[in-house]
Each structure stands twice: as C-alpha cells, then as structure tokens.
Structure 1
C-alpha cells in the first residue's frame, strides 16, 4: 500500500551488520535501551558539552543533531535514556524503492555501529498530496520503522511535524498513516509565524491558542493523542520594526515563504540564554501579551532602529505544558537542549532550572 516490495531492503539488511568495540567503561551501556517510560521528555542535542547539565532525572530521549559523541551515548544509556540518529533525505532521492532501501540500511548500520536506539526523521520538505514524494515519504516511515524495530530491539522511530496537520509550509503529508506507522510524532509547536496570512506584524513564536488548537486538529483527524509529543521553543525571534505603535504593534518587512506574503524569516532566531542577558536592559523590560500568552520586549540597536523580541519562558511554556495531561499527550520536548545558559552564575542557574522544570506538567 505504501511502497514496493521489501526485497531491496532485505537485500541490504540480509548480512549481519558489524558492531564495533564498545566505547563505554561498562560494556552493558552499549546495549539498546528497551524500557519505555510513561512520560516522554525529548531533547535535541546540537553542540558542545552542555548535555552534562541536562535534567537527566526526566530526559527519556536525546536526538543527535551534531557530530557523534560516544561519551554522550554512554552517559545517556547510564541514565536509561535513548540516543537516536537524525534522519533527513531529499524525498526525490527515495521515490525509487531500492534507493529508499539503501538509505534505510545505511542508517540502521550507522545506528548499530554507534550503539544507538533509533532515528528521528526530520524531513520538513514541501510535499503535495498524491504525488510520488507523498507516497514515498509514507513508505519511508513504514519501512524505516520495520527495519529499526527488527534490527535493534526496543528502538524508537519518530517523525517531526509542523504545529498543525493543515499543510503548514506546504507539508501536505499523510499524517494519520505516518503517526500509525512510527512510534510517535514530535510536534514542532514553534516557528508558527513561518507563514503569516494576516498583516505583517511581529508576533509570538508559539501563541498559546494556536498551539493548543494544532493538537486538537491532529486528534480530530484520527491521530491517537498518545502518538503526539509537544515540542516547545527555547528560542525567540528578533524583529526589526518598520514602525511601532504606542500599544507595541511592530510592523515588519514583507518576506514571502511558501505562498504567504509575510514570514518569521524576516526575523532572527535568538537563544533563550541571549534573551535573558538582553531583556533587563531593553527599552521596556519583559512585557506580556495576554492574548498570545507570550512574553516580549523592545530594544533599540546602535543604528537607532527599534526591535521587538518574542520568546517563550517558564510562564508561557508551563501554560502549554499543562495541556499535556488534558489532551492526553505522550510527553514534551524542546528545540533545543543547548539554547540555555549552563554557566555557574547563581541567577543563570535558576533561570535554566526554571526552563527545565516548566516542561513538567
């Protein structure tokens, strides 16, 4: 239904794949994680050694979006957390069944060689319903899940989706089938201004009502809520205002994206650690928008331009996280675990701890 015969995949996986020497002090730590906890806390790792300061009492999965670090693998396994690959491939390259089988086999072999526990499929490419790429993507999820589950016992295959199933950024995927075929969806409830269909005005990265409505849309099309993990942003957007009103309406430059006239692409992504250093010295200090339920502030740059920064903090994240139980979601996660400040400054440590705590409903 979703693709061609598995002959090609079996051909590539038929031979026993080699496992290298375990890099951990305890060889048992090279065994795949097989236990599944009731509540998922999903972390994307992108750089450095910040992972040593993650909240390992709650982390369940770390997705590797950086060069492989065997020390991190050993440590994650010591905490009972899965460590998974990133999977991304141009969809035009895997329309062919044999090419798709080869790609899957390569990822399974890499995961085995690095003692990893699965893969996070982060495709995010525009796809129209009914096209060859549409069917190939669904087949990719099906065949990847089958291969990983068979070859690595207890492994996890997840798929990243936009905040709504309504063809956001022209990602018109077969969401119901994909959710059924993999372990769960990581819902990227951020960059929700990637397509601004109203006026070109700065706004929240993940406005509360829009975010919650996105999960209701996934459930309404028949996706089990336990197949959904809520993703929240640990970053914000810095917009240069063309003009700003007394009630802080910041008009921004038009920058089209996938059909929309305006987009958050005109802004600059800012890590939470940078925001915390800037907000107190800004023109306004932290302000709160009670409609979007998100914080923001204004500042003036060296050229005299007024900027508006929208972001998420413990208050806005906690409001959304509270809906995890109400909606019956599988868990929560963030993009990404390395956007906080993990230095020893006492105030910074409190700010960082508060962001981790906000994930827990």
Structure 2
C-alpha cells in the first residue's frame, strides 16, 4: 500500500548577498516519504523506464484517480498535471510507461542563466525523489522573435534535457508547442527546441480558423488547419519523428446570438489574448458531458464536411440557443491517418480525464472507442 502524499510546502529563499538582482526561487520541501524508500510493493518499479517505444501514446492526467481505468496497453508516457500520486507512478511503471513532471515558469525569469540552472536542478531533484522519468515543459506565453526570451527558452530546453539525461538514465524531456509554428503571438525557436529535447507535443486544438475570425462557432481542431500545422512544422526543418500529434478530448459550447438555418451560430466578440472572438466566446466541455447531452439536444449530432467535425444545437433552461463542437472517433481517425502517412512519432490527448470511466454500458463503449482510435493498428 502506498504511503500518503503530503502537500509540498514552499519556502522563499533569501537573496544571496553581493549578487544584486538575482531572481528568487522557492525551495521545495519534499513529502516526507520522497526519496526515503520506494513506495511500490516491488522496489524494481522505482527504477526509471529506459525503453523507448516505436510509437508514442502521450497522456495528460489532471487527477481524480480515473487513471486506473485508462488503456494501459497503449500508454507510453503520463504527464502529471494534477497532484502527484505515487500509486500512479508504480502502476505506470508496471506497464512500462513513463511518468513525468510538468514544467512551467515565467519566460522573463529564465533570461537569468543562474535562475535557469537552479530551476532545472530543483526539477531534477523532485523527479528523482518521486521516482519519475523526466519532464514535460508546458510554457504557453507570448514571446517576440529574437528577443531575450526567445533565446533563453531554447537554452532552457537544452539545459533541462541535458541535465535530466545525465542525472536520470532513460529520462525524457518534451515540450508542448502550439498547433502551428505560424502563430503570431508565440514566436519560439521551434527548430532549436525540437533539436534540444526528445520530442514536441503539438497542441492541435484551440485553433483559430477563418470561421472563428468571422465570429461564428466552429470546430476546436478543423481538419485542414490541423494538418497544415504539421506540414508547416515539417517545412521549417523539424523531423516528423520529433512530432507527437495532440488531439482534444473536449469540445466547446457556444451561446448563439443567432442560429441561422440550424447550422450557423453567430457568437459575440470577446477581447482575448488570441482573437476578438472564437474560443474565448465558448466554454470547454469534456467529451463525457457532450455524450450525455447530444441525444437529448434539439438537433442531434451533425457532421460538418468542411471542418470534418461534429456539432449539435440545444436550448438551455433560459431559452438561449447553444451550439457545441467536438471531436469524436470519426474526426480523430481522419486526422490520425496523417501520423502513419508522414511518420510522426505518435499521438496524445488533452486530457485523459475527459472520458466517462463509470463503467455503465453506453459510456464504457464510448470511452473504449476513444482509446481505440489512438492505436494505428485498430483504426
């Protein structure tokens, strides 16, 4: 039985004298059991995973202990975005899957090489103490081309990868990138970052398609835009084997200003950091909730041939009309065909907790189909 996890405490480090302007880093106080002894019944499960699979299935877990019901016959990496669970680590290792940390830090802080080194050292220490296998760097902040942040981010990824590889044999460092390298607000050195780390997880969702710029509800990950994003990454010189396709296991619920011909849902302009309308006008909805509501909607599920995605309309208790766009096994399989055709490293999703693991017959089958579509041999 795994020992309980204590909440980490953070103490603020004192600024060293004689070094003006040095950024401060929190000193992480690890759980009492961390590093003391292996929390697994089999001590061998605390050893890092060294095998590198031919096909990557990259899973994000945000908590709620639904991980016991995942399809572990496919999973190769689990990124912990929720509270660390030593039982999950033991279980994943028993199936040969890596368990990695989330890494996020303000870009302005990493310009300082000393701060970068301290942050990386703490992440390595934490990974070792929790018997983990690396880190997934998830930095989703604006940066200008050739700015100090632009160069510092590439340096951070390289230094983190080198440090993890040196300190934890078989470890893995990955980086999350937006759906297209042409996104104007996030100018990163994508080729340099890809070269520096093990691979990139491409977040092919929350895309701003031409339809969204017209302030009408549209797909979260339209087919053409999604695949064009991968074409563009490859065109700038990134090896397809360094790219993992990220798919959404959630959709967007839009409140319509008007619903024209039961198809076109106009949405309000909402100022945001990405666009004046689009995903900022909607609410994220997990696939399990979508599947509960679609059959009782006023329209039933419809298929959009242009965007290769599903949607439905419903009316809320106040009488407002809504349109919900989402991905399902049909839309995912169409995009996933690109993986084998172009030699991508694998597939993953945000996030695994979006499915229904209750065990009831209908949702159980729906959940099974969503996992099944990840496997290129079963599509």
- Shorter-chain TM range is over 0.9
Give 1:195 deviation, angstroms. 9.0
1:151 and 2:174 equivalent?
Answer: no
Q: Compared with structure 1, are the counterparts of its residues 78 and 221 closer, same or farther at alpha carbon in structure 2 (3 Å cutoff)?
A: same
**Secondary structure, counterpart of 1:67 in structure 2:** coil
Q: Compared with structure 1, are the counterparts of its residues 305 and 197 closer, same or farther at alpha carbon in structure 2 (3 Å cutoff)?
A: closer
1:176 and 1:223 in contact (8 A); partners too: yes
1:5-64 CA distance string (max 9 Å, x none): xxxxxxxxxxxxx93310000000000000011000000000111100111001000000
1:257 and 1:263 in contact (8 A); partners too: no
Between the aligned partners of 2:280 and 2:311, the Cα distance in structure 1 is 18
Between the aligned partners of 1:65 and 1:261, the Cα distance in structure 2 is 29
Alignment of 1:176-325 (within 5 A): 176-193=191-208, 198-246=213-261, 248-258=263-273, 260-325=275-340
Q: Compared with structure 1, are the counterparts of its residues 63 and 290 closer, same or farther at alpha carbon in structure 2 (3 Å cutoff)?
A: same
Between the aligned partners of 1:196 and 1:89, the Cα distance in structure 2 is 33
Give 1:198 deviation, angstroms. 2.9
Query: Which has the higher mean CA deviation after the structures are superposed, 197-206 or 37-46?
Result: 197-206
Query: Which has the higher mean CA deviation after the structures are superposed, 189-198 or 319-328?
Result: 189-198
1:88 and 2:104 equivalent?
Answer: yes
1:195 and 1:260 in contact (8 A); partners too: no
2:209 and 2:225 in contact (8 A); partners too: no
1:195 and 1:257 in contact (8 A); partners too: no
Moved runs in structure 1, 4+ residues, more than 4 A?
A: 194-197
Q: What is the number of equivalent residue pairs in this alignment?
A: 343
Give 1:359 deviation, angstroms. 1.2
Given the alignment, which residue of 350, 353, 369 partners 1:354?
369
TM value normalised by structure 2: 0.89
**Secondary structure, counterpart of 2:276 in structure 1:** coil
1:244 and 1:250 in contact (8 A); partners too: yes
Listed as ranges, the gaps of 5+ residues in structure 1 are: 1-17
Q: Compared with structure 1, are the counterparts of its residues 323 and 137 closer, same or farther at alpha carbon in structure 2 (3 Å cutoff)?
A: same
**Secondary structure, counterpart of 1:193 in structure 2:** coil
2:213 and 2:278 in contact (8 A); partners too: no
Given the alignment, which residue of 113, 129, 134 partners 2:150?
134
Report 1 or 2 for greater relative contact order, CA contacts < 8 Å, sequence distance ≥ 6: 1
